[in-house]
Amino acid sequence: MKTKVFVAKSIPLEVKEYLGQYCDYRIWDSEEAVPRELLMEEVRDIDGLLATSSDKIDEELLRKAPRLKVVSNIAVGYNNFNLEAMKARKVIGTNTPFVLDETVADLVFGLILSSARRICELDRYVKEGKWLKRIDESLFGLDVHHTTLGIIGMGRIGEKIAQRAKLGFSMDVLYYNRTRKSEVENSLGIEYSEMDELLKKADFVVLMTPLTPQTKKMIGERELNLMKRTAIFINASRGETVDEGALLQALQEKKILAAALDVYEQEPVDTQSPLLQLSNVVMMPHIGSATAKTRFDMAMRGARNLVLALSGEVPPNLVEELK
């Protein structure tokens, strides 16, 4: 008998065909997040769940899913896993690292460049017919090359950002991480810094850390106050790593120059959020890994992790804490 699986998001046809060879699956084939009540119903008789990082895997869900053996996230982040509860129930969890590293690093550079050179703002300026005379300094931006980049969270994506910064833009790169990465320091020529020093020195601060209880709201009023008035803040990790209210205030009061955000405390972002009114914020709809190729690779990797785990093998992307 084939194992039973629920897929909590749409996936490409080829990935469906692959899954279908090994499992009987039902799918939530929609771009809306799967409603919690439906997910709770669907997990009753399944062995495996192909999930997104917005599907909370907590005690309540695990209680409803007595047969569940594996949750495979189609995402690198797994802040939706209650790791303790999963460990206690011996449910394994996997994610999709590596395939998205370069793609997310590309977007982060897009965010750095668009905020420094005001690309989105000036695109609107031209399209709204405001370009009627020679440009003056009110439209000038900031250089990116030969400035200092501070990266908080030096995982694989952080490394790819650092590589772009050093090789492409001749930037000095400082990083802060829970553990020091001496090999990366040597191979890329980047420098470890304590967090406060990094915040004080960097022209661009990129937050690229996973969301954990320790990193929740790690950037708040105190940290924003340490940053230069000319600094630009970029968040491509998770919205909850930042105190969004404090960030809004810092931007409104020009305590920092600008921000570029791919993630928010609430997603989709509240359409009434005052952030939407600010010209010094570039906002993307949590799209860091979203190129057609990378999203395909992530879905296939997620499906493979799931199939391997259900056939009793150790999947390659078992998350660290559940090994």
Q: Which residues are catalytic?
A: 238, 267, 286
Part in contact with ligand GLV (CB under 6 A); list of ranges 59-67, 74-82, 140-148, 175-183:
74-82
State yes or no: residue 319 binds ligand GLV (CB under 6 A): no
The answer to the question of residue 5 lying near ligand GLV (CB under 6 A) is: no
Count how many Cα atoms sit within 13 Å of the Cα of residue 5 in the half-sphere of its side chain: 32
- CB 31 to ligand GLV: min, Å: 15
Taking the chain, what is the end-to-end CA distance rounded to the nearest angstrom? Answer: 28
Could you tell me where the DSSP H helices lie in the chain?
A: 13-22, 36-42, 59-64, 83-89, 101-116, 119-127, 156-163, 169, 182-188, 195-201, 221-226, 244-252, 292-310
Residue pair 257/230 in contact by the 8 Å Cβ criterion: yes
Q: Which of residues 10-69 bind ligand GLV (CB under 6 A)?
A: 53
Cβ-contact 43, 61 below 8 angstroms: yes
Kindly indicate which of the ranges 11-19, 62-70, 73-81, 163-171 contains the residues binding ligand GLV, using the contact rule CB under 6 A. Answer: 73-81
Q: Which of residues 253-292 bind ligand GLV (CB under 6 A)?
A: 288-289
Instruction: In angstroms, give the least distance from the CB of 97 to ligand GLV.
Output: 9
Output the smallest distance, CB 38 to ligand GLV, in A: 22
- Tell me the CA distances in angstroms from 74 to 7, 216, 217, 228, one per residue in order: 10, 22, 24, 37
For ligand GLV, the binding residues in 181-200 under the rule CB under 6 A are none
- Residues comprising the chain, all counted: 323
Nearer to ligand GLV, 66 or 285 (CB): 285
Q: 3 or 294: whose CB is closer to ligand GLV?
A: 294
CA 315 to CA 91: how far, in whole Å?
Answer: 13
Which residue among 43, 50, 77, 93 contacts ligand GLV (CB under 6 A)?
77
Order of strands, sheet of 191-192, starting from the edge strand that comes earlier in the sequence: 191-192, 172-176, 148-152, 204-207, 232-235, 258-261, 281-283
User: Does 82 sit near ligand GLV (CB under 6 A)?
Assistant: no
Shortest distance, position 139 Cβ to ligand GLV, whole Å: 33
Closest CA to 145 of 166, 175, 120, 122: 166
| H/E element, 132 | none
Angle between helical axes of 13-22 and 292-310 (0-180°, round to 10): 0
- According to the binding rule CB under 6 A, does residue 299 interact with ligand GLV? no
Distance, in Å, from the CA atom of 190 to the CA atom of 148, rounded to the nearest integer, reads 11
Residues in contact with ligand GLV, counted by CB under 6 A, come to a total of: 7
Q: Which of 76, 152, 162, 256 binds ligand GLV (CB under 6 A)?
A: 76
The residue assigned the tokens 């093998």 is: 313
Nearer to ligand GLV, 53 or 115 (CB): 53
Residue 289: CB minimum distance to ligand GLV, A: 5
Closest to ligand GLV by CB, 77 or 153 = 77
Cβ 74 to ligand GLV shortest distance, Å: 8
Q: Which is nearer to ligand GLV, 211 or 250 (CB)?
A: 211
Are 263 and 235 in contact, with CB atoms under 8 Å apart?
A: yes
Q: Does residue 93 interact with ligand GLV by CB under 6 A?
A: no
Question: Which H helix or E strand runs over 204?
Answer: strand 204-207
Range in contact with ligand GLV (rule: CB under 6 A) among 71-79, 106-114, 143-151, 185-193: 71-79
Q: Which residues bind ligand GLV (CB under 6 A)?
A: 53, 75-77, 100, 288-289
